[in-house]
Amino acid sequence: MSLWRDFNAGIVRENPVLRLMIGLCPVLAVSNNALNALGMSVAVAFVLTCSNLVVAAIRKIVPDEIRIPIFIIVISTFVTISDYVMHAYFPEIHKALGVFVPLIVVNCIILGRAEAFAYRNPVLNAVLDGLGMSLGFGLALVSIGVVREVLGAGSIFGLQLFNPAVAATVMVLPPGAFITIGFLMAGLNKLENKVR
């Protein structure tokens, strides 16, 4: 597979949220506003790209029998770095995201890409896959966050657009996440059908 296809696959065709429907727990929990969604997207991008790089680099020396525990150690190392950096430099976002940053360790997107792609491909391909999947995850998460914040709170990235009294409060609650994901999936399917 070409490098471009490795990168591009995760953006639309294999988008983790809108196509594969994996990693939805943090998506539902942290996408109630755009800033939280962006913070989680950056953390996931860092962890996914770095863990893919390391897993691909050590793939020939890791025995098959212990590869999953090794992957979890690699992933947890980058999650810890991400958590500490976020706590030190972005305490408000860190507080808002709460336990969901440490839970990136067991996010099926990260472990799934390590197992299905990084462990079976060279370093450059694995890094591009990590970047593409991260970009797809981030685009979906931020899109969901923007829609939910605008419709549910009348603001975007904390900037008030209209009176929050007329906002649909349900959009910042968990049902709003499901509604938004459903409409984004439908829109993506419609767009894909038109392109075919």
Instruction: Calculate mean pLDDT across residues 49-68.
Output: 95
DSSP result, 32-56:
TSHHHHHHHHHHHHHHHHHHHHHHH
Per-residue pLDDT tens over the stretch 9-35? 888 888 999 999 998 888 998 999 999
Q: Is the pTM of this model over 0.85?
A: yes
Name the phi and psi angles at 159, rounded to 5.
-90, 120
Per-residue pLDDT tens over the stretch 114-142? 999 999 999 999 999 999 999 999 999 99
What does pLDDT average to over the chain?
92
